[in-house]
Structure formats: structure tokens, C-alpha cells
Chains A and B, each alone.
Chain A
Amino acid sequence: MADEAIRTTNLTKIYKEKSKQPVHALNGLNLSVQRGEIFGLLGRNGAGKTTLLRILTTLIKPTSGSASVMGFDVQAHGAEVRNHICAVLQENALEQFLSVRDNLTTYGRFHSVPPHEREARAQRVLDQFGLTEYKNKKAMDLSGGLKRRLQVAKVFMVDKPIVFLDEATTGMDPINKRAVLESIRAQADGGRTIVLTTHILQEAEDLCDTIALIHEGRIIASGSVATIKALATSVFELSITFESMNEELLAQLKSLSPVRFEQTGNVVELCINSVDGTVLDTIAQLSRISRITHLEINGGTLEDAFVELLGVSREDTSWK
């Protein structure tokens, strides 16, 4: 498809190390990213986000399945893929021996920014990221937060159509984070495709056009932020302690068709799918059957909600 920036089909990655259990980092992952959108991969640590980005940036080869970037297969046409991308890796990658400014200009040189433009761009990026006062410092002398800022700043030196950002804002203070997020937004408005990973819901919500939830190496849900949020906000985690437990109560609880249900004595933990507001009515109904001595309600984060749902949906196929 012409307006597709990235596509993966049954992408699988198994890390094999001697004398260790193989790690299935990606398990048949399917993904499609449109050009010009900000695409967020949201998932817990270990979900496989970095592995996916490593494959898309040609750092590692998939074990099976395929992936293409701007129509180029990552395995067969690695160099072509690299012509269209720039990436902020999860770990900092800086020229420790070079100054902040030189880090920017060398990055520009590698990405074919014309010589006469490099200095001007570097100056603009320095200003944009509040790095001007450090421009002559060597990267190795910067604090952790500043290093991260410089690392992220580099991609704003170049105009590659696709930008990968792996946990770009990790370790940044809120003000700089804001600035970074705004810069990313501006880039996308200019037509670039941004693929970012994060384990922070808020960030994905604020920034992304499309979110994909990744769990155990698979995409378990994807869609616009609004769609995903609507799904997520209807999931509640309840922990209720009743004064006493009886058949009627159990029947009532079951009739809520919980996606997860656990009972230990008088304590019931359940996860229900319910439209906004009605959850309180439900609880009120329950309390008429048996008095509630303790109650906890969690709106469940976007991620948790889906992880819970996925965990349950494997056993309970009745859940839609």
C-alpha cells in the first residue's frame, strides 16, 4: 500500500543464548503504520517493544516472519531501509569524546544534511532543547538527563521520513519532556511518520494518533486513542470484602460476567466490563445482598486493562 510506512507480518524473534532458555521476544506480531502518523507502542517492560524497533531499524534479524519499512524489506534491503529512517535507541548513543555541538553536526553529516546547513540546524536544535549553554561541553561531562536530551535532539537535525523513538523521554524532567513531545508533534504535522515506544500511558495518550498495545510479543489491541480509551475506561478492577458470602451473592456476581473472578473467603476480586457510571449501581445492588465492609475500585490503566483482558480471554472465550 502506498500510504503505508511500516508493515510486519507474523514477525517472530527468539533470542537464543548458550546455556540459557530461548526467549520468545516477538510472537507472530502483525502491524501496519500509516505515513504521517504518530504511532505509539505501549507495553510493559519486556513486552518486546525494543526488539521490534531493533528489527525495524535493521539492527537484528527476525527469526521468522517479515517486516518492511517504506516498502523495503528489512532483511533484503537493509541499506535502503536505513536511508529512510533515523532512530533514538533506548540506550544513549553519544560520541562521548565530542562536544554537544559536534555530536549534532556529525549526526547531520551521517544523514546527508548539506554542509552549509549543519551549523544553522545545530544552533536551532540547541536552542530548541535548551542545550545552548552546554554546546562546547564534551558529551561525557553531561548529566544523565542532559545526555538523554542530546540523544533525542539529534534526530531533529535531519529530515528522514520515519523516526523511531525508543522510550525517548525516559529520564527527562517534565519541562523538557513537554518540549520534546511538542517537537515530535510538530515533526509529525510536517509529514514525518513517528514510531515511539513507551510504558507510560499518559504519554501515549497525549501524543499518539494510533496506539498499539503490545504484550508478550504480540499486538493485543490497536486503534485510535479514543477507541482504545473507550474500551479501557469501561474496565474496572474491584476488590470487595463482604460481611458474609452466600449463594445469591455469588449468582449475582457471576451474572456480571466478570472477565476475571477470584474469591477467597469473604473477599472477592473481580474485573468487570461496564459502561461509565454503572459500576457504582452494580456495587449498590451487591451491598443490598450482603453488607460491604471494604471496597476498592481501580479504573485500571489502559495497559493493565488490556493485559487483564488478554489473560482472561485465553481461558474465557465468551468474553467479547
Chain B
Amino acid sequence: MEMILAVLYREFRIRTTSPVWMFFDLFMPLIYLLMFGVGLDRAMSGGVGQFGGEMSYQSFFLAGVLSMACFGIAINTSYGFFVDRENGIFYEFLTYPMTRGEFLVGKIVFNCLLAVVQSALTLSVGTLVLDIDIRWQYAWFAASGIVVGTAGWFFFLTILALRIHRNDIFNTVLNVAYFVLMFASSMFYPVDSMPAWLRTISLMNPLTWHTDVLRFATIGIGNVETIILEAVAFGVFLLVSFWFAVRTLQHAVIK
């Protein structure tokens, strides 16, 4: 625990040395929601039909923005491995008195907290400005979803970042993967409205699971059984990613 806190504190110190980045981290999803959400709502001028009801696009897109934000923070955190590696400190960390698991958990905990604060900001503005009907009584569920989502993606990206030793290749892989993952998910549009082949892919995409859970937790849309299944699936994704990330740290650090 002491070590996790030490890593957490270190991440906090590094992050807060750059207020500009902190600003982006905190307000980016909000900007997305305001620009895309509101813009697309106007353009589609009818909102999105799902589960028999009609809702504004910004209501639908809200969960997409939240899961996108978690993914974004996970990317930034995993990108830190390259910066740390360049500074040599990455290798030194691995000689510190902690397990590989403590190191990874410590790295993500601060960023999970950041994601929660960011989501709270986004949800508040959603309620106050965009008039989205948010189920605040499920806030604890949403917060858990944010934490688990951020950590899950971080562990997954850690595997890539540590195995791909060059950051330009990592960037390229990430850009392509992110693009595919985003559009083959329920982030921008309901899975039901997709062509069959895309729907199949989307249903196997952890980004869909995460977004659906957040959508259920925030605006109450979704089928309870499906949501439980998706939540469990994402939990498994997190655990498997964590296990592989720890293994990668143990074996493939210096080739």
C-alpha cells in the first residue's frame, strides 16, 4: 500500500508540473460533448431512437464522451512509459522495493481519480447546461465504471507500450486501433442501428461494454441483463490485461 501511494504521489507530482495538460485532462470531454453532442443533435434534429424512446443526441453521446475520456487518460498514462524510458527513470523504478503489480496500480490510481473528477465535471455541465436527465442516485456505479474503465484500458495499453519499444510505432498502432475501436462501438450511435457485421464486431469490443455500462449508470438506458454481462466481460478484460501487463514487465523490459 505504501508503495502504491508513493507511485500515486509521483504521478500526481509529474502531472501537476504541467497545468496546461491538467486543464486538457479535465475539460477535454466537456468540450467534446458541447461541440459534437450539441452539433450533431442539431444536425440530426430528431435525436436518437433507442429502446422505444427518443432522446437528444447529447444525452446519448454523454456516455460515449465519458468512455472516450477514460480511454484518453489511459493513453496519456501509458504514453508516460516512453517518457520515463527516455529519462531512464523507468528502469530505476523497476529496481525499487515494490512488485510489478504495485507499480502498475500506483501509476493508474491517480489517473483514475482524475478521470472521476473529469466525469463529474462533464456530468454536472450536462445536467445544468444541456438539460440531460442524469440518474444521480447511481453516481457510485458510474464512478466505479470510470475507475474500472480507465484502469482496464491502461493495463491493456501497457502491454502494447512495453512490447512496442518505439514510440512512433506505438503512436501509429494506437491511432489505427483507436479509430477502429471507436467506430465499431456504441460510442457514437446505438449498436442496434448498425449493419449486422459491424454490430457483431461492436458487441465484442470492450469499448462497447464500457460505454453501455456508463450509459446505463448515467441515463438509465439499457437492458439490465446485457449490462451485467458487459460489466463482467469488462472485468475479465481488466484482469487478463493486468496479468499480461505484469508478465510483460517481468520479462520484456530490456530485450
Contacts and interface: CB of A to CB of B under 8 A. Distances in A.
Interface of A: 15-17, 54, 57-61, 78-79, 82-83, 85-87, 89, 91-98, 102, 106, 109-112
Contacts of A89: 88, 91-92, 95
Given A59-B254, A110-B3, A82 B87 contact: no
A79 B94 CA distance: 10
Contacts of A97: 13-14, 17-18
Given A17-B255, A97-B14, A110 B96 contact: yes
5 contacts: A79-B98, A85-B95, A87-B95, A95-B89, A110-B6
B173 to A, nearest CB: 18
Contact of B97 (A16, A54, A59, A79): A79
Query: What 7 pairs between A and B have smallest CB-CB spacing?
Result: A93-B92, A93-B88, A83-B97, A57-B95, A97-B17, A91-B88, A93-B89
Contacts of B18: 97
Which residue, A17, A96, A98, has most C-beta atoms of chain B within 10 A? Answer: A96
B193 interface: no
B10 interface: yes
Contacts of B82: none
Given A79-B99, A112-B2, A93 B91 contact: yes
B96 A92 contact: no
B97 A110 contact: yes
A17 B97 CA distance: 29
A94 B89 contact: yes
Interface in B168-209: none
Contacts of B27: none
Interface of B: 2-3, 6, 9-10, 13-14, 17-18, 87-92, 94-99, 250-251, 253-255
Given A89-B88, A93-B88, A95-B89, A82 B13 contact: no
Contacts of A94: 87-89
Given A59-B253, A60-B253, A112-B2, A96 B87 contact: yes
A111 B99 CA distance: 13
A98 B251 contact: no
A246 B209 CA distance: 90
B13 A106 contact: yes
B251 A61 contact: yes
A54 B254 contact: yes
Nearest to B88: A93
B88 to A, nearest CB: 4
A82 to B, nearest CB: 5
Which residue, B17, B92, B98, B250, has most C-beta atoms of chain A within 10 A? Answer: B92
A54 B87 CA distance: 17
Contacts of B254: 54, 59-60
Contacts of A85: 95
Contacts of A82: 95-98
A59 B9 contact: no
Nearest to B5: A109
Given A82-B98, A93-B90, 17 more contacts: A15-B255, A54-B254, A58-B94, A58-B95, A59-B91, A59-B95, A87-B92, A91-B88, A93-B89, A94-B87, A95-B10, A95-B14, A95-B87, A97-B13, A106-B13, A110-B3, A110-B96
A152 to B, nearest CB: 12
Nearest to A154: B92
A279 to B, nearest CB: 45
B97 A111 contact: yes
Contacts of B6: 106, 109-110
B22 to A, nearest CB: 13
A116 to B, nearest CB: 15
Nearest to A160: B97
A15 B252 CA distance: 12
Contacts of A112: 2, 97
Contacts of A78: 250
Which residue, B94, B250, B251, B253, has most C-beta atoms of chain A within 10 A? Answer: B94
B94 A59 contact: yes
Contacts of A16: 255
Nearest to B18: A97
Given A17-B255, A96-B87, A106 B96 contact: no
Nearest to A139: B87
Contacts of B90: 93
A98 B15 CA distance: 11
A58 B95 CA distance: 7
Contact of A106 (B10, B17, B87, B250): B10
Contacts of B95: 57-59, 82, 85-87, 89
B250 to A, nearest CB: 8
Contacts of B250: 61, 78
A83 B2 CA distance: 13
Which residue, B9, B14, B97, has most C-beta atoms of chain A within 10 A? Answer: B97
A77 B2 CA distance: 19
B91 to A, nearest CB: 6
